[in-house]
């Protein structure tokens, strides 16, 4: 039996995360995702994925120091950021720039220190490249700011509000890891050849870049914009469904019930009700959307997915759509590197087979007399 795309094939054992689409569960290292975002910062969640346990106060302090220390980019990386063609998209630029980090120091086996460096560098690269394309000066990292807060600061040039930091931090924790998806598999395949962590992560970025995997929630942005302009969420939603179109941000190919990441995001964002109009609008649209979908498509159980609230967050923090997938990538580097480290501990090279369906020919059959 052929499993096209290896769908349903178990290719590895992992202790990093568990995705249960039927039950609507996402678990990091044994902990439900809702519990993690209620109690953890980005740094604490990253530590959990890398080390398999929550950090002590001292361990968390050391991780923060290490992340801050690796935010600064060497001069050759900065030269590369400004020398790449302007028409190169951000994901391609991030892939190319990070690959330049590959040096002799990054040899088999990968280390957590290398994972930390890659995680720390990515937001700085994205922010510097984005500002370069906008014709603006670079904003150096601010050591006293946490990981997510500093990312927004480098992009915008001002310290962000608490509501915006918490919203984006929640999103970035939720997107750190999601099982054996296409980009994670790509990272593990590369690592399984005993290549370096830089090569494995750039392989994953190349995979994430594809629209079938890391596509940005731009369609949800369009929905929220339309509701905002018309002022009638119910009318907009019903018109979309009447035209036979999908209501973007609702439903998920893996989760057959409520997407736990969406639930976690909504729960967190409720704390900031009234502080940002886009976050408030998204909750209103979600409530109406679920009600109308149940009326129009009874029994389908179409709930919001993580992209729905991700769109609201990106809109709230004034992040352009070109930054959506790179921001997703900046968080997922934590999960990729955790898988690379796990692969290295019990490595077997990935070597699936293919079934040949072409003809069998003889050379003389093609000779013309």
Domain CATH code at residue 274: 1.10.230.10
> Do 33 and 139 fall into the same domain?
yes
- pLDDT for the residue 222: 80
> Do 72 and 20 fall into the same domain?
yes
List 169, 177, 307, 342, catalytic entry: 307
| 17: β partners | 28
> Do 149 and 225 fall into the same domain?
no
> Do 154 and 287 fall into the same domain?
no
pTM beyond 0.85, yes or no: yes
> Do 48 and 165 fall into the same domain?
yes
How, if at all, do strands 25-28 and 17-20 pair? antiparallel
CATH assignment of the domain containing 146: 1.10.580.10
Q: Evaluate whether residue 339 is within a structural domain.
A: yes
> Do 239 and 341 fall into the same domain?
no
63: containing domain: 4-215+325-345
> Do 249 and 125 fall into the same domain?
no
User: Could you tell me which residues come within 8 angstroms of residue 204 by beta carbon, excluding any fewer than 6 positions away?
Assistant: 183, 184, 186, 187, 190, 332, 336
Give, as one character, the DSSP assignment of residue 56. P
Q: Evaluate whether residue 64 is within a structural domain.
A: yes
Handedness of CA 59, 46, 259, 342 (dihedral sign): negative
Q: Evaluate whether residue 139 is within a structural domain.
A: yes
- pLDDT for the residue 1: 74
Q: Evaluate whether residue 361 is within a structural domain.
A: no
> Do 285 and 329 fall into the same domain?
no
Number of domains in the chain: 2
Q: Evaluate whether residue 364 is within a structural domain.
A: no
List 252, 286, 339, 342, catalytic entry: 252
* Spatial CA neighbour of 320 closest among 227, 238, 181, 218: 218
What dihedral angle (degrees, nearest 10) is formed by the CA atoms of 329, 199, 111, 186?
60
> Do 144 and 79 fall into the same domain?
yes
> Do 255 and 296 fall into the same domain?
yes
Q: Which residue bears the tokens 């002799």? A: 104
Q: Is residue 97 within 8 Å of residue 104, measured between CB atoms?
A: no
Q: Evaluate whether residue 368 is within a structural domain.
A: no
Q: Evaluate whether residue 362 is within a structural domain.
A: no
Alpha-carbon distances, residue 49 vs 16, 200, 218 (angstroms): 6, 17, 29
> Do 8 and 59 fall into the same domain?
yes
Active site residue 307: yes
> Do 211 and 223 fall into the same domain?
no
Each residue's pLDDT expressed in tens, for the chain with a length of 369 residues: 777 777 777 888 899 999 887 777 889 999 998 889 888 999 999 999 999 999 999 999 999 999 999 999 999 999 999 999 999 999 999 999 999 998 888 889 999 999 999 999 999 999 999 999 999 999 999 999 999 999 999 999 999 988 889 889 999 999 999 988 899 999 999 999 999 999 999 999 999 988 777 665 667 788 888 888 888 888 988 988 888 887 777 765 565 566 777 777 777 777 766 777 777 888 888 888 878 888 877 766 667 777 777 877 887 788 888 898 999 999 999 999 999 999 999 999 988 888 888 998 887 766 565
Q: Evaluate whether residue 353 is within a structural domain.
A: no
Phi-psi region of 24 (alpha: psi -120 to 50; beta: other; left: phi over 0): left
Active site residue 87: no
């Amino acid at each position: 039996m052929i499993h096209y795309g290896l769908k349903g094939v178990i290719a590895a054992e992992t202790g990093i995360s568990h995705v249960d689409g039927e039950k609507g569960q996402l678990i990091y290292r044994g902990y439900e995702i809702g519990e993690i975002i209620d109690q953890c910062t980005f740094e604490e969640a990253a530590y959990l994925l890398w080390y398999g346990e929550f950090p002590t106060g001292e361990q968390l302090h050391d991780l923060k120091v290490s992340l801050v220390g690796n935010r600064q980019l060497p001069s050759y990386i900065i030269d590369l950021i400004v020398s790449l063609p302007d028409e190169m998209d951000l994901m391609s630029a991030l892939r190319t720039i990070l690959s330049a980090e590959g040096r002799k120091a990054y040899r088999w086996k990968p280390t957590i220190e290398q994972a930390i460096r890659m995680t720390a560098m990515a937001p700085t690269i994205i922010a510097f490249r984005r500002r370069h394309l906008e014709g603006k000066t670079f904003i150096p990292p601010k050591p006293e700011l946490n990981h997510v807060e500093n990312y927004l600061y480098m992009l915008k040039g001002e310290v962000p509000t608490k509501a915006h930091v918490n919203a984006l931090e929640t999103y970035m924790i939720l997107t750190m890891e999601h099982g054996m998806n296409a980009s994670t598999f790509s990272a593990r395949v590369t690592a399984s050849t005993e290549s370096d962590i830089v090569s494995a992560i750039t392989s994953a970025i190349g995979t994430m870049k594809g629209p079938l995997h890391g596509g940005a929630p731009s369609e949800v942005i369009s929905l929220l914009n339309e509701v905002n302009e018309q002022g009638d969420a119910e009318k907009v939603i019903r018109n979309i469904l009447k035209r036979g179109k999908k209501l973007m941000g609702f439903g998920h190919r893996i989760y057959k019930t409520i997407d736990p990441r969406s639930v976690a995001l909504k729960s967190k964002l409720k704390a900031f009700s009234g502080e940002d109009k886009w976050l408030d609008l998204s909750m209103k649209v979600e409530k109406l959307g679920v009600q109308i979908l149940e009326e129009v498509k009874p029994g389908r159980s179409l709930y919001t997915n993580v992209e729905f609230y991700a769109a609201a967050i990106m809109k709230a923090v004034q992040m352009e759509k070109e930054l959506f997938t790179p921001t997703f990538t900046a968080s997922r580097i934590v999960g990729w590197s955790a898988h690379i480290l796990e692969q290295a501990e019990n490595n077997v090279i990935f070597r699936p087979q293919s079934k040949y369906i072409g003809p069998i020919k003889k050379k003389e059959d093609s000779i013309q007399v």
